[in-house]
Structure formats: C-alpha cells, structure tokens
Amino acid sequence: MMPDEDLRDTYIKSVLNDVGTVLSSKDLMLLQNTMYAKFEGFTLTRTCKELVVDDGNNADIIKRFFIAKKIEGLSKRSLQVYFYHLRSTLEKIPKRIQDINVTDIRLSLAETMTNSSKIHADNQRRILSSFFTWCEEEDIIDRSPMRRIKKIKFPEHIRRPLEAIEVEKIRQAIGENIKERAIFEFLLSTACRAAEAVALNRRDVDLLSGEAIVMGKGSRERKVYLNAVAKMFLAQYLESRKDDNEALFVSDKKPYKRLGTGGVEDIIRKAGELLGMHTFPHRLRHTAATMALQRGMPIEQVQKMLGHKRIETTLIYAKTIADDVKYAHKKYC
C-alpha cells in the first residue's frame, strides 16, 4: 500500500492541478500550505481508485465548489475573490464544513467588520452564502448556516465621475504614449470594465464600424461602440505593434504578453497621480455612463451599454446626475 505521506502528496497535487488555471501562484502556494496543515494527523486511504480523507475533507469540498463555479462561467478574477474570502474565513474556523454553524459565521463577519469594513464583510457574506447554498444543494450539509444571516447594510457611496476638464487634463498627462492613450480612449468610449477590455482580441474589434463584442459578467455578450477619437488612437496603436499576439492590448516588452487588468489599472492610476487625482478604470466607466445620460441617452440604452442585468444598478448613475444638479443649484442659485 502507498504510504500515507505519498497519498497526501498525490492528493494535494491533484487539487492544485485542478484549480491551477483559476488561481494565482501566490494563492496556489497558500492553498498548498493550508492543505498540508489541515491534513496533519489524519489518515488517507485509497478507495475505489479515489483518494479520500477520513475526516470529511474540507479541501475536497472546496475543490468541487470551484470546479462547479468555473463551469458556471465565473471569471478568473471572480474565482480568485471567492478563494480569498473562503480561505480567510475557513482558516479561522477550525471545524469541518459540515459542523460550521451560524454563530461561527457571525463571529467571522463581525471580525471582518472590525478589521476592515462593512462593505468587505458583506462581500464575504455574499460569497459564503453562495458556497453554503451549493453545499446544501449537493447534500454536503443539511441546512445552510447562511439562511439566518441578513445582508449587511452600509452607507451607499457613489463615486464621482470625472468632469470634462479632468478628462482633458488626463489626456494631456498621458501625452504622446499611443498605447496608454488608446486604452484610455477605449475605456472612456465603450464604458468597458478593465477585465472586459484586456480579454478582447484584435478580431473582436471592427474599426471601420467602430464596434466591438465584449464578454461581460455572467458570460453575457454585448456590443460596445468606439467614438472617432477612440478609433483613431486604437488604429494608431495597432499599426505601431511589432508582435503577432492576437490580444488587443499587450505588454511593452517581449514576449509581448496579453496585458492584464493590473496593467490597465496602473496606466490609469499613474496618469491621475500626475495631476493629484485618484483615477481607476471603473471611474472611466462611471464617467462614460454619466456623460451618456447627461447628453440624453435613455436609461435603458445606458443599461445595455454597461451590460447591467438589472436596471436598478444603472439608476445609480442617474442619482449621480441628480446630485450634480443639487450641487449646481447650491452654487449658482
């Protein structure tokens, strides 16, 4: 019979291999270390050519959950967020998943609220709810402990969109960097999320018609549109490229890999920092939506442009405009 240590190593390698495409190297290392620590003192046996752990095996349950979520179409970034919250919660509750109760969850959420914020705690609550609901559906647990956990209320913070003069200042700060200008104009024109933009390939964009097909949240496709400025700078950027990578945006140096969301965030953030402004890709998305509403675009069309499933989400931008009117009234009337 294979020694327990060998079975443990084989099993852990199998888990890491299954989730290796959706987790970062840092997260994989943390998962590996956590599994070795959790398996300490337990006996592993081989049954029907499958590796099982005698204690109920949290790691195997988590592995199955992530496989299910990947099949459902969650993005790599979303899976990483799910993994972070599950890991940080379950590491602090030294129990089998089947034994975790509502008090354990409440104590964990209270700790998050104390050490972080209500928003962070509610994100944790939402992900734990998804996980334990899945566990209930899969008959891993009899009843989800999240059923009695209510949504955590917190003050709604609406990010202020950029003003027209701020947009022009950022353009000046970017200067003659064609790639950075192309990314800035693309985001501002299409209202794409950073993750949607970096997932695009050249063939997804029709510069002649000024249209692009993006894959949004929930694997929902939508059509977005480039204005004349965005088309011009994107065309210049693509013409300047010396690589054959199919990605729409790539890194500056060989081997010219596909640009990640972090790369886009750095470009937008650094341009703002030169002006003493706090800028990020989602603020450009917010700005694009607000500008569209200010110019008279119907809220239903803005909803389609943003790829929102619920119009209530889009109405947040309409509230921003109402707040702007209130501010202007106080200033000028």
Please identify every residue annotated as catalytic: 193, 217, 282, 285, 308, 317
Three-state SS at 18: helix
User: DSSP 3-state helix, strand, coil percentages of the chain (rounded to 5)?
Assistant: 60, 5, 30
Q: How many residues does the chain have?
A: 333
How many Å apart are CA 272 and CA 283, to the nearest integer? Answer: 11
- Cα-flanking dihedrals φ and ψ of residue 48, to 5°? 50, 40
Q: Is 114 exposed, middle or buried (0-12, 13-18, 19+ CB in 10 A)?
A: exposed
How many Å apart are CA 260 and CA 12, to the nearest integer? Answer: 28
Say how many C-beta atoms besides its own lie within 10 A of residue 191's C-beta.
Answer: 23
How many Å apart are CA 37 and CA 34, to the nearest integer? Answer: 5
How many Å apart are CA 292 and CA 301, to the nearest integer? Answer: 9
- Cα-flanking dihedrals φ and ψ of residue 105, to 5°? -65, -45
- Residue 203 near residue 210 (C-beta atoms within 8 A): no
- Residue 252 near residue 177 (C-beta atoms within 8 A): no
How many Å apart are CA 213 and CA 194, to the nearest integer? Answer: 14
How many Å apart are CA 184 and CA 168, to the nearest integer? Answer: 11
CA angle, 170 as apex, 302 and 174 as ends, to 5°?
A: 120
Residue 247 is classified by DSSP as B
- Residue 43 near residue 2 (C-beta atoms within 8 A): no
Say how many C-beta atoms besides its own lie within 10 A of residue 142's C-beta.
Answer: 8
